[in-house]
A and B are shown apart, each in its own frame.
Chain A
């Protein structure tokens, strides 16, 4: 797509990760009916992609134990993608059986993180994902690849941009159509975001890149702005900023979709998303979770009773 006069993309695809990444990192286990209701509401906001659930063993992630029921229970709106996480071939088969038409796999740019998270090396994890992408290719299922710890690791600290580029390239060459670069612990800043993207952009076409920024240090929107100034046109976010950071107790995690849309609206960038509808969905899930929203736009708007 052509850049605007401002140099920014004209359209940005927002990938809503609230129902999966968000809820997975919330303490309160949410009933299946509530999850389905949330996703159905999000489907009406104009969001083009909503990450629904994770086909991971319920032993590891109790919050996602109802993955089949959720997948089968949601309304599927035309033009909306409903990707699900599939950590391995078994999860992949289960996902397809439950009606999934897009899947995601998660790599990491840090060996320690990979070991602590999924008990294997980066290389071993990529081999597993290779099996998934191979099967997916056979039945025309698109696969999205995530790279965690793109701007820092809770165990290793600093992460080298070239490592991020290397893992991204592996995922891309095995068939992932899009690589979402995750600032897993939110330590990134516009400085490190720029350096990392420069390295990755040498290996992956810009149109195949997404950023998944966490707001743990309040840097998410500044980091997203930096990424879109460099031409990235896909941004992950979570309604109401659902999902705290498992590595910093009490700290926030995902950036709030409402706050991202507010910024993109102000930049004249088209997203197709109705901000008010997202705020309402956010209000619904926060009420269900009995928690305050992490979205500043939602906080401010509900206080004043006006949408600016």
Chain B
């Protein structure tokens, strides 16, 4: 129903990790650090800083330790990092990480192609990360990929999404971010999926991570908000193309999201102008145009 909206929304900025990871040009460490520092000045409360994954797999994130140690960590801001396994977790904590994220998927084929095991096996691998995190009092965020469609399997059942989400939640993840990995979702499939997931995971522990590959992101986010979701992932300047559709866009732009939330009178604490300035900086460094329409429109060049 189009009744109420949450009064506040937590925006989780994934540009420095998810965004940059999907950009062709490798970004020098000082640029990454400056990006995160600028984001820290915008009012964003959560900034995903990097990924403690093997540089063999993800060269863009090879400088994870330097980035983690180099950024200004402002009080009140969380700087989660991805940790695909125990080794990565340990390296992350040694580098100063205070929050980590793990990734599951609602598609068997996607999991197989991505990390060469089944969903069940992938979650078992995270058992040791969860245990170590619990011992160190480190909060863990869980991601579920392919919640509205899979590049290999096509349609994904909402029940499967709920099953994987529930598993991650019971393992101890404080929040589950539901990712429309290839952006095929629409308000129809978003509503259907959330209805089922919300039977297994409390809405207060849910986040949406929408991709704008088919232009549906803000409409999908709107529906999620209408259903009570109050945590939304986004990427400054819409950094990060879609690896499954060459030339197509990926992450939704944080500027465009904040613009919409402002218009709805929803509090985010984010300064849109500072955010746009940050987007301008990183696009200049990447020598690319912004994917944010708000930024494009506001540019009077």
Residues of A in contact with B (beta carbons under 8 Å apart): 6-7, 186, 188-192, 194, 215-219, 221-222, 224-226, 229-230, 245, 248-252, 256, 259, 262-263, 265-268, 295-297, 299-300, 303-304, 308
List chain B residues, Cβ under 8 A from A268.
188
B223 at the interface (CB under 8 A from A): yes
B76 at the interface (CB under 8 A from A): no
Cα–Cα distance between A194 and B294 once the two chains are bound (Å): 20
Q: Which residue of A lies closest to B221 (CB)?
A: A222
Are B301's CB and A304's CB within 8 A? no
Are B249's CB and A296's CB within 8 A? yes
B137 at the interface (CB under 8 A from A): no
Question: Of B212, B246, B297, which one neighbours A296 at CB under 8 angstroms?
Answer: B212
Q: Which of B213, B218, B249, B262 has the most CB of A within 10 A?
A: B218
The number of residue pairs between A and B whose CB atoms lie closer than 8 Å in the complex comes to 132
Question: Of A192, A221, A252, which one neighbours B263 at CB under 8 angstroms?
Answer: A192
Main SS class of interface, B: loop
Are B299's CB and A266's CB within 8 A? no
Whole-angstrom distance between the Cβ of B48 and the nearest chain A Cβ: 22
Q: Which residue of B lies closest to A194 (CB)?
A: B2
In the complex where A217-B256, A299-B247 touch, is A266 in contact with B185 (Cβ < 8 A)? Answer: yes
Are B189's CB and A189's CB within 8 A? no
Are A221's CB and B249's CB within 8 A? no
B174 at the interface (CB under 8 A from A): no
Q: Which residue of B lies closest to A251 (CB)?
A: B297
Instruction: Give the 7 A-B CB pairs with smallest separation, nearest first.
Output: A189-B263, A266-B186, A296-B215, A218-B293, A218-B256, A259-B215, A303-B245
In the complex where A219-B218, A221-B219, A266-B185 touch, is A191 in contact with B259 (Cβ < 8 A)? Answer: no
B184 at the interface (CB under 8 A from A): yes
Besides A217-B297, A248-B297, A296-B249, 20 new A-B residue pairs in contact (Cβ under 8 A), listed by A number? A188-B263, A189-B259, A190-B263, A216-B293, A217-B256, A217-B293, A218-B218, A218-B260, A222-B222, A226-B222, A229-B2, A250-B299, A251-B296, A252-B293, A256-B215, A262-B186, A303-B247, A304-B244, A304-B245, A308-B184
Question: Of B182, B184, B212, B260, which one neighbours A190 at CB under 8 angstroms?
Answer: B260
Cα–Cα distance between A262 and B244 once the two chains are bound (Å): 19
B232 at the interface (CB under 8 A from A): no
Q: Which of B188, B212, B246, B259 has the most CB of A within 10 A?
A: B188
Question: Of B149, B191, B249, B299, which one neighbours A308 at CB under 8 angstroms?
Answer: B149
In the complex where A215-B293, A308-B149 touch, is A263 in contact with B263 (Cβ < 8 A)? Answer: no
In the complex where A252-B296, A266-B188, A296-B248 touch, is A218 in contact with B216 (Cβ < 8 A)? Answer: no
Q: Which residue of A lies closest to B151 (CB)?
A: A304
Question: Of A190, A248, A266, which one neighbours B222 at CB under 8 angstroms?
Answer: A190
List chain A residues, Cβ under 8 A from B248.
296, 299-300, 303-304
Are A266's CB and B253's CB within 8 A? no
Cα–Cα distance between A294 and B219 once the two chains are bound (Å): 17
Are B187's CB and A300's CB within 8 A? no
Are A189's CB and B214's CB within 8 A? no
List chain A residues, Cβ under 8 A from B262.
189
Question: Of B218, B242, B264, B265, which one neighbours A221 at CB under 8 angstroms?
Answer: B218
List chain B residues, Cβ under 8 A from A299.
245, 247-249
Are B1's CB and A297's CB within 8 A? no
Cα–Cα distance between A7 and B188 once the two chains are bound (Å): 12
B56 at the interface (CB under 8 A from A): no
Q: Which residue of B lies closest to A305 (CB)?
A: B245
Q: Which residue of B lies closest to A255 (CB)?
A: B215
List chain A residues, Cβ under 8 A from B154.
308
Are A186's CB and B297's CB within 8 A? yes
Interface string of B235-251 (1 = CB under 8 A from A): 00000001011111100
Q: Which residue of B lies closest to A252 (CB)?
A: B293
List chain B residues, Cβ under 8 A from A189.
259-260, 262-264
List chain A residues, Cβ under 8 A from B113.
none
Cα–Cα distance between A109 and B185 once the two chains are bound (Å): 35
List chain B residues, Cβ under 8 A from A295.
215
Are B263's CB and A219's CB within 8 A? yes
Cα–Cα distance between A192 and B299 once the two chains are bound (Å): 23
List chain B residues, Cβ under 8 A from A259.
214-216
Whole-angstrom distance between the Cβ of A151 and the nearest chain B Cβ: 9
List chain A residues, Cβ under 8 A from B265.
191
Cα–Cα distance between A63 and B262 once the two chains are bound (Å): 37
Are B259's CB and A218's CB within 8 A? yes
B15 at the interface (CB under 8 A from A): no
Q: Which B residues between 157 and 197 are near A, CB-CB below 8 angstroms?
A: 182-189, 191
Are A222's CB and B219's CB within 8 A? yes
List chain A residues, Cβ under 8 A from B212.
296
List chain A residues, Cβ under 8 A from B298.
248
In the complex where A189-B259, A226-B2, A245-B297 touch, is A262 in contact with B216 (Cβ < 8 A)? Answer: yes
Whole-angstrom distance between the Cβ of A211 and the nearest chain B Cβ: 14
Are B264's CB and A250's CB within 8 A? no
List chain B residues, Cβ under 8 A from A265.
186
Q: Which residue of A lies closest to B299 (CB)?
A: A250
Are A267's CB and B188's CB within 8 A? yes
Q: Which residue of A lies closest to B1 (CB)?
A: A7
Q: Which residue of B lies closest to A247 (CB)?
A: B297
